[in-house]
Structure 1
Amino acid sequence: MGDDRAILRDVWEGKIPVCFHLAQDEVIAEQPEPVYQMVPRHSYLPMVTEKISKHFAQYVDKEKTGEMWIDFEGQPLKWHNPVGVLYDLYGISLPWKLTVHFQDFPEEEIIHCVGREAVESHFMSMLKEADALKHRSSVINGMQKKDHKQMWMGLVHDKFDQFWPINKRLMENTGDDMFRYIPFRIYQIDRPFIQQLLKPHSEEGHEHTLEDLLKLALPDLGESKDQKILIQGIEVPLDTPLLWLSEHFSYPDNFLHICVSTVRSQDTSREW
């Protein structure tokens, strides 16, 4: 891998300013002030909302208080997707205004999160799936538990220099081809995510690009001007090689999370 550390660090350090406010219909007294927070794009909501939960919980009826969940303009947010993916799908302006709830958990739309352990379990499951696609699980299975823990704690504490030395092993060449397949998921509003098998190179040896991936996974996408293709909040050129993207723009779970976002007013995605 061409270890362009500056790009890797810049992607890691991406953050979203978020404004959390308590749902008005759940307040039992005076509406508390909103809470503002800079949230890492690569993190997950349950990892960054523990203090927010404790703060707002004192303003709601304890007898009706259940598991906290968050929505954006009425859309419950799936905590098991990285925050950056959620913003690229639904965000319009900054700061991103999110509503905190403690009642009426939307059972049919989001899964329960029993604590940080559930987030860790989900993260490690995604990491193992990505390595199965890339290296037939040889890298992740060759790691020790302390390596897994170092990666997780690097993610929890937002420490690039703690996370990357271990993650680098998952990005290294272990054969004639860099990866067997490119781990990716494509997200669209109100549709299941798309995940398919695609090698870094064609049978003729040509590098596959982001455009090749989109033609495979979304053949009817076309060139609609009211849609953006975002990875890490960036409109990446369609001729960018997939292998390079996988090396540099994957989230910590080693997946390329690609969002097909409808352009709306005050859209604030960034261009590469």
Structure 2
Amino acid sequence: MPQDYDVTRQVWEGKVPVEFVLAAHECTIIDAPKPYYAMLPRISYFPLALERAYKYFMSAVDESEVNKDDVWLEYDGYPLKWHYPVGVLFDLHKTDDVLPWQITVHLKKFPEDDIIRCAGRDALESMFMQSLKEADQLKHRGEIVNTMQKRDHKQLWNGLVNDRFDQFWLVNKKLMENSGSNTFHFVPMRLYKTDKPYRQVLVKPMNEAAERTTLAEACRIFDPGFDSSSSRVVSHGVEVPLDTPVIWLAENLAYPDNFVHISILSS
């Protein structure tokens, strides 16, 4: 099943308008700072945008009392996981149509029991590359990513960081090879629910009947109790038809880490 260039391009260009506001009780000046606005790629990660927001809000706090490692984000009472893509977090937590997405920036009292710390951009890059290598291990037993040179890995990362589709896909197309000896063994998929960690299990492109595995079948592999009548299955902000072959999802809707990220929401 060939890749659809128009779909992958539209997926890449998806954006979320975000309004960062400083937690009111952490402001040390009389007039609270105005919000910081940003258009964030769905496929990106909050730490890549947070540095600018952090610098913006520093004028409103006592710098001597702030540790950059203590910065965290919250929406509607939920601490946001920095290692989840922006689009996944939006799909999981944003239940209304009000935009921009207002997110509270906290500079203190990091919720150690709920989320892990981000040790900086290098840690994010390491996490991203590890996830990408894991995806290729599932698809090609690592045979493609392991033959790439360091500059290829860097090009993938820089393409994501700088929001450059062509730069990224010049290398990523090799990881999407699905023909001949490079056909996918498994489809890299992660399924999310709002109040639970994501789940990841082995999903084959073809089922036991030698037919293409559908999204509905994959959801039941992840959750045998999956009920399509009471659930919406969403990726990139779009409800995905349950009869969609998972191989098509892998070729067209995968995030830059090469995983298909699916959110299961109550209908």
TM range (shorter): over 0.9
Q: Distance in 2 between matches of 1:102 and 1:261?
A: 30
Verify: 1:234 aligned to 2:235, yes or no: no
Instruction: Name the residue aligned to 1:81.
Output: 84
Q: TM-score, structure 2 length as denominator?
A: 0.94
Unaligned runs of 5+ in 1: 264-272
Per-residue deviation, residues 85-124 of structure 1 (Å, max 9, x unmatched): 0000001332111000100011111111121101100000
Q: Distance in 1 between matches of 2:182 and 2:215?
A: 18
The residue correspondences of 1:159-238 to structure 2 (distance < 5 A) are 159-173=164-178, 175=180, 178-225=183-230, 227-238=231-242
The match for 2:260 is 256
Deviation for aligned residue 1:180: 0.5
> Partner residue of 1:69?
72
Q: Is the 8 A contact 1:135 1:174 kept in 2?
A: no
| Whole-angstrom CA distance in 2 between matches of 1:181 and 1:37 | 36
- For the 8 Å contact 1:135–1:180, the answer to whether it is kept is yes
Structural mapping, 1:19-98, within 5 Å: 19-29=19-29, 30-66=31-67, 67-92=70-95, 93-98=98-103
Superposed, which structure 2 residues align to 1:102-141 within 5 Å?
Answer: 102-141=107-146
Aligned pairs, number = 262
Name the structure 2 match of 1:144: 149
Question: How far apart, CA to CA, are the structure 1 residues paired with 2:77 and 2:178?
Answer: 44
Contact 1:26–1:61 (CA<8 Å) still a contact in 2?
no
Q: 1:206-250: CA deviations, max 9, x gaps? A: 00010110121122121343x321111110111011100110000
Taking only the aligned residue pairs, the percentage that are identical comes to 49
Q: Kindly report the root-mean-square deviation, in angstroms, between the aligned alpha carbons of the 2 structures.
A: 1.4
Who is 1:5 aligned against? 5
1:178–1:200 CA contact under 8 A, matched in 2: no
SS of the equivalent of 1:201 reads: coil
How far apart are the structure 2 equivalents of 1:190 and 1:6?
33
Q: Is the 8 A contact 2:36 2:56 kept in 1?
A: no
Q: Deviations over 1:14-70 (max 9, x none)?
A: 000111100000000121101111100000000012111101022112232122111
Structure 2: which 5+ residue stretches go unaligned?
Answer: none
TM-score by length of 1: 0.93
Q: Is the 8 A contact 1:72 1:99 kept in 2?
A: yes
Summarize deviations over 1:2-22 as a string: whole Å, max 9, x none.
Answer: 132111100100000111100
2:71–2:107 CA contact under 8 A, matched in 1: yes
Distance in 1 (alpha carbons) for counterparts of 2:266 and 2:114: 21
Amino acid at match of 1:239: D
